[in-house]
């Protein structure tokens, strides 16, 4: 299995290197540290759309290439793996890397889609550090009131935010995970709140 993944990564590296000056859209599964390393070396600087399903170890290095993509308009990041204990050193290190990622995202971005394997604290720190005035935010996890408050705080500093997509939004409203009062507060800042846009990666959270 490991050999198959390495062969896949090698093939992708060759294809990206051959087309890096023309490549504008890239969607990848099984993204690892090794993948990030070759993307950094053969950085396709003309990318406007990047969608990754990425391992935890790849995620903590992702900031190394994101800052190089000055034309990027859409960024989708789906972390694959398992949740860490929020009190573990690994979880603390990941959150530190997420703040680096938040600060590395180029000002050109207009749409961000995320799904991180962290608790609410990790998301809150990401939103606090993230200052790019995006217009669309998709959260590929189910949310509750506490997480929606974090999004409201972000929307208060980014008045350009026009749409928020929440995975299983209708279900979350019906079962009470998102209260009507908080939803109305969010709607006063964000014109469109609903389901996430479809992506090519499978997400079940």
- β-strand partners of 199: none
Across the 205 residues of the chain, what is the mean pLDDT of every consecutive 10-residue run?
A: 62 68 85 84 85 90 92 96 56 83 97 94 94 97 93 96 93 80 95 94 72
> How far, in Å, CA of 51 to CA of 75, rounded?
6
CA atoms within 13 A on the CB side of 189: 21
Model pLDDT, residue 57: 86
Contact 50, 69 (CB under 8 A): yes
Model pLDDT, residue 37: 83
CATH 3.90.180.10 for the 2-194 domain, yes or no:
no
Model pLDDT, residue 199: 92
Model pLDDT, residue 104: 97
> How far, in Å, CA of 156 to CA of 173, rounded?
22
Model pLDDT, residue 171: 79
Alpha carbon 38 to its chain centroid, in Å, reads 20
């Amino acid at each position: 299995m490991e050999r198959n993944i390495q062969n896949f990564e090698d093939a992708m590296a060759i294809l990206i290197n051959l087309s890096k000056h023309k490549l504008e859209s890239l969607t990848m599964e099984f993204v690892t540290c090794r993948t990030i390393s070759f993307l950094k070396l053969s950085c396709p600087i003309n990318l406007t759309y990047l969608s990754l399903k990425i391992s935890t170890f790849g995620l903590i290095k992702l900031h190394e290439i994101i800052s190089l993509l000055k034309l990027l308009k859409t960024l989708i990041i789906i972390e694959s793996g398992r949740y860490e204990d929020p009190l573990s050193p690994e979880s603390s290190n990941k959150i530190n890397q997420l703040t680096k990622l938040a600060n590395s995202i180029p000002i050109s971005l207009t749409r961000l889609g995320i799904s991180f394997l962290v608790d609410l604290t990790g998301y809150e720190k990401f939103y606090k550090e993230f200052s790019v005035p995006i217009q669309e935010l998709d959260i590929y996890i189910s949310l509750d009131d506490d997480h929606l408050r974090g999004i409201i705080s972000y929307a208060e500093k980014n008045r350009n935010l026009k749409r928020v997509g929440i995975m299983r939004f209708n279900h979350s409203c019906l079962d009470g995970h998102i209260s009507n009062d908080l939803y109305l507060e969010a709607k006063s800042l964000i014109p469109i709140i609903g389901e996430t846009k479809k992506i090519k990666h499978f997400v079940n959270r």
